[in-house]
Every structure is written in structure tokens, then in C-alpha cells.
Structure 1
């Protein structure tokens, strides 16, 4: 974990499989009422999420935060689009790289830092099918080597 990172809530393992992560940035999330309580209970799913940049603002799209069980009529929509808190320079840099090189921006993990929910977003380049197979093969070989070293 990077220095200063708090309690890990959710991780997007599929992102590292489907994409090559080029750069990462920490961002805050604008949440409504009971959403932070659901996040503290680890009721968040990043699997299909992505970041969209519109009118100079970054938004987290398609991330599912389950409604809080003890909530009432003020519960939130689980799939609503949430604004990300980033500096203007960061948004401009992400937008420029995304447009120039045809990259995506995906959420990698959500964690609590000083009581605030933070999301680690990654500038990602999509992997081809053979790249995915290659990385799985490499991971399997490393596992076998580690197992052999442990037995000796």
C-alpha cells in the first residue's frame, strides 16, 4: 500500500487483468447521506466502474454502492454517477492523455483515509486477449517457482 493509505474497502482485481495501468491518482468522492455508511460496511462494487470527464469535471460512473440497511426514505440510488474531487490540473492531464492515446480511466480501489472515502483511479490501456494469457502464464510460473523454493 502507498504511504498514508488507510483501510482498504474494495479492490478492482478485474481492472489489473483487463488493463495495463500506466498511472494512478488518488481522488475524493462526493457522497450523499448514507453512502459513506455503506462504504464503511464494504458494500461497494467497482467491477464495471469507469471515470468519465465532462465539462472539466471527473465523474465515477457505474460503481454500485448498496443502499444502507438501516437507512430510510433518504437512501440513495445504488448506481448513481458520483463526482470525483480532483485538481483542475489533474483532470486536464487525465483528459489529455485519455484523448491522445485512447486510454481509459478505471477505479482500482476504494479505501478510508482520515475518515474520508478515497478512490485510487488508474489511467489504463486495454490489454489484448494474448496479453491477458501471457500475464496469467507468467503469474503461474512465478507461483510454481515460489512453491519449488519453499519445498527446498
Structure 2
């Protein structure tokens, strides 16, 4: 697809039956594109060429597909991310005990979801254990712009 740039992100939400995924419910797709790209045309191209391959083998007939929810995504890749404040170290969180998406905490204010989301997940888990609802608790959150 000629208008697509090198940066992109996808978040897929699945419905499970126990531990088995049974269908795709929501897909948030952020695709870098040229300034003058027609987003509706881009959506049609993704529907035709990308999603059938990506969804192969998993029911997704009624999946909600959200394309570039924050609007235009023109600047991306190293041009947009290089030099931002923050260390992406596991020591900033809980080592290998609790996985995280790689966003830094250090150097960011609490309005950034990397930091505030991790703090909220810790708050929820800590209170679940304090209320004796669990001996251990791991909370996983997902955010999309």
C-alpha cells in the first residue's frame, strides 16, 4: 500500500472461553501515512489486503476496527520518537515478575499513560491482596489513544 509509512501499531482484543481465544472483538490500528492520504481509501485497502491475512483462522466477522483513532499519523518512526525522555528499563517496574509494554516511567510526568497506567495497575493489585481477595495479583491494562 503506497501511502503507508514505516511506523504502525496494532492492539487486538480477543474474547476467550477459559484459556482459549474464540474470536477477535476489537482491533485498533494506527498506521503512519502520507499527509494527503484519504483515510477512507486507506481503510478500504487495509480491509482488502491486510485484514483477511491477519484474521485468517480466527473469527472476526463482527470485530470493531478502529483506524487511526487519534487522527492523522504523519510523523512517525525515529523522527518522532528519538530523543524522548525516559529509560526503558525493567528495573523501573518489577523486574521480570510483571511484564510491561516497554514504555519508560523515569522522566515522565504522571499524565503519561506509561506511568499512570502502571501505578493504577499496582494500586488495584495491592488493594486486591490487602482485602484478602488474593494472595498474589497481577493486573494487566491496555490503552489505545
TM-score normalised according to structure 2 size: 0.25
Which has the larger share of strand? 1
The one of the two structures with greater contact order (alpha-carbon pairs below 8 A, sep at least 6) is 1
TM-score normalised according to structure 1 size: 0.24
